[in-house]
Structure 1
Amino acid sequence: MEEISNFTTPVPSPFSAYGFWHKGVVEMCLFVFSFLSGIPTHAYVIYLIVTGKGNGIASEIFILNLSVCEILFSVNSLFNALAETFQSLIIFTWFLIGEIITGHPMFQCLMCVERYLAVVHPVIFLKFKPLRYRVICCTAAWMIGFGSGLFCMFLLMSPNFYLYVWFYTVQFLIFLSTQLFCLLAVLRALKQSGPGERGREREEENHIKKRAFHLILIATVSMIIRYAPYIITGFFIVTLQDDESIQVLWSVSYVCFMLAGFVQPVLYLHRMGKLSCFCF
């Protein structure tokens, strides 16, 4: 374990190079790749949304906030790479960890709930469709993420890593349960046909339901890929003392977390026709 000035880090952090996860060539390459690839990709998505080249801020505000979360993750990767030289940065990386692990899945859940309401409760969806309600939801999500950042910062400074693992796990299960509920509800609605519907109207409605189902499915699968490896690694840390094995688990988990963050922006860019040169 490496000691940081004025206090000792007793436990590893998911994105930190301290504790069980010592900085090596692989880890430094992952940090650099995350920063160099994440910043331009997500900044481009934000640019397209803000400049109105997409479907407008009102309908894509959750994607915009997801991209902001991913930029924070890329910045966190940079700070982790610099933390060995500038050790005071480690506390800020812990704060960003809490913001990311809460904010990102929360915005994904908001997207899924919105699609669920559009398909299953269209009257409610149309009632709360204006931008101001989405801004309120995003503001609340950022405030909760800020609180989570402070909480994680104090948890990781304490000697009880077990609480941090449970905090991470409970959040994941809550968000996963919400998305699975939305997924099953939309799937059920997709299998049902309204009485007296014409063929063309039924086709259009089914198309909307299928898009909602695919969006929720992709968000759910990407969240599982992104968070499950870290939760499994966290429980291994609590029960095992093999530093070398845990270092490998951290590296694999970091790769899953980083790559899953590109799912939404790549799909968005493809939908906007910005990746037409690639075959999908």
Structure 2
Amino acid sequence: MELFINSSLLYVSLRPLNSTAAEKTVYDICKDMPAVIIWYLGLQFINMFLGIPANLMVLWLIHKNKGDTSTSDIFILHLAILDILFCLTPPLELANIVFLTTSNTWYVLRFFYGLKDSSPLFLSCICLDRYMAVVHPVTFTSLKDRHHRAVLAITVWLTTLAYAAAKCVGNIVNFEKVFTAMILAAFTFMVFCNITILWVLRQSGPGRDEMHPVKKRAFKMVLIILAIIVFNYFPPVALLPFQEYFSPKVFRCYIHYVAFGLMDFSSSIQPMLYLSKEKLNCCQCCSTQIQ
């Protein structure tokens, strides 16, 4: 039968040892190591109940403050829309992993998995925007009021939809290598941008142990973002290229769900980080007015 899972390997062939294997669900095939699948599904439902309202609140705040938004908010807005779409999938995913043996409904899930796979592209745009603002402020200022960010966002959406459609088909040879290359390139780029930003902010103070309060807050925020990028996106980067070193069943039932469970949970962590930043800015504004 074919076992459909949430990754760049959305379907992999399992050779049944008997005729009844074709009737098994994904959960039945992994029944001797079910802990990670249960953990993964629990994480997905937490993602749904936490991620949807958090991302909706992000959209509301960006709309409410559209007269006073940062240059990165256009990418944050599109990332929130993408995450909301992905956070709608856990009920269907639960049904397909635990109850259903048909492969038809996996076409829908593969499309949404393709959307989530491409989310690092929007994160890379956010990192690039912040990188230009800190490392190349003159160039950033000259481009600040132009429409290149909207063009870039449209380009990312077209790339995302094309990738998701190709993934939905599910029979492209070596298609998993596209995801591996994309996540590795995006991860490397995001880490480079954030480390460079941290270094520039750290060196921009009057002395090595001094830093302007605004830059200090920016330094702490970028450090948190870097930690989240490593936590959410390092597992697939570290594990997927070494698939052949694991037994097929261990990779399909264990390694895969660990890597992508952490990556998928970014749909909740990212909006929560944005909301915490907005709350911090609001508190600082109120404090300044009181003084």
Aligned with residue 110 of structure 2, among 94, 110, 114: 94
Q: 1:18 to 1:186 in 2, by over 3 A?
A: closer
Between the aligned partners of 1:187 and 1:223, the Cα distance in structure 2 is 14
Counterpart secondary structure, 2:6: coil
**For the Cα contact (< 8 Å) 1:31–1:77, is it kept in 2?**
yes
Instruction: Identify the residue that residue 258 of structure 1 maps to in structure 2.
Output: 264
Between the aligned partners of 1:260 and 1:239, the Cα distance in structure 2 is 27
Between the aligned partners of 1:203 and 1:109, the Cα distance in structure 2 is 27
- Are residues 1:207 and 2:214 paired? yes
Between the aligned partners of 2:245 and 2:192, the Cα distance in structure 1 is 32
Between the aligned partners of 1:17 and 1:147, the Cα distance in structure 2 is 16
1:87-123 deviation digits (Å, cap 9, x = unpaired) = 5331121122222212x11111111111111112112
Instruction: Identify the residue that residue 139 of structure 1 maps to in structure 2.
Output: 154
Segments of 5+ residues of structure 2 without an aligned counterpart are: 15-24, 28-33, 283-291
Paired amino acid for 1:261: S
Instruction: Identify the residue that residue 279 of structure 2 maps to in structure 1.
Output: 273
Paired amino acid for 2:54: T
Residue 129 of structure 1: how far off its partner (Å): 1.5
Instruction: Identify the residue that residue 125 of structure 2 maps to in structure 1.
Output: 110
Between the aligned partners of 2:78 and 2:111, the Cα distance in structure 1 is 18
Residue 192 of structure 1: how far off its partner (Å): 3.7
Residue 145 of structure 1: how far off its partner (Å): 0.8
Provide TM-score, normalisation by structure 1: 0.74
What aligned pairs does 1:167-178 form with structure 2 within 5 A after superposition?
167-178=178-189
Aligned with residue 69 of structure 1, among 72, 76, 82: 82
Q: Which moved more, 1:30-39 or 1:211-220?
A: 211-220
1:125-158 deviation digits (Å, cap 9, x = unpaired) = 112212733221111111111111123233x335
Q: 1:17 to 1:190 in 2, by over 3 A?
A: closer
Of all paired residues, the percent bearing the same amino acid is 24
Q: How many residues align?
A: 257
Q: 1:222 to 1:261 in 2, by over 3 A?
A: farther
**For the Cα contact (< 8 Å) 1:39–1:71, is it kept in 2?**
yes
Q: 1:35 to 1:188 in 2, by over 3 A?
A: closer
Paired amino acid for 1:72: L
Counterpart secondary structure, 1:222: helix
What aligned pairs does 1:226-237 form with structure 2 within 5 A after superposition?
226-235=232-241, 237=243
Residue 213 of structure 1: how far off its partner (Å): 4.4
Between the aligned partners of 1:217 and 1:165, the Cα distance in structure 2 is 31
- Are residues 1:157 and 2:171 paired? yes
**For the Cα contact (< 8 Å) 1:116–1:185, is it kept in 2?**
yes
Between the aligned partners of 1:46 and 1:131, the Cα distance in structure 2 is 22
Residue 10 of structure 1: how far off its partner (Å): 5.9
Residue 71 of structure 1: how far off its partner (Å): 1.1
Between the aligned partners of 1:241 and 1:175, the Cα distance in structure 2 is 28
Identify the structure with bigger relative contact order (alpha carbons < 8 Å, sequence gap 6+). 2
Counterpart secondary structure, 2:160: helix
Aligned with residue 60 of structure 1, among 59, 73, 79: 73
Counterpart secondary structure, 2:65: coil
Aligned with residue 50 of structure 1, among 60, 63, 87: 63
Provide TM-score, normalisation by structure 2: 0.72
Aligned with residue 13 of structure 1, among 6, 12, 15: 6
Q: CA RMSD in A?
A: 3.6
Q: 1:235 to 1:115 in 2, by over 3 A?
A: closer
Counterpart secondary structure, 2:279: coil
Counterpart secondary structure, 1:107: helix
Between the aligned partners of 2:56 and 2:116, the Cα distance in structure 1 is 17
Between the aligned partners of 2:160 and 2:147, the Cα distance in structure 1 is 20
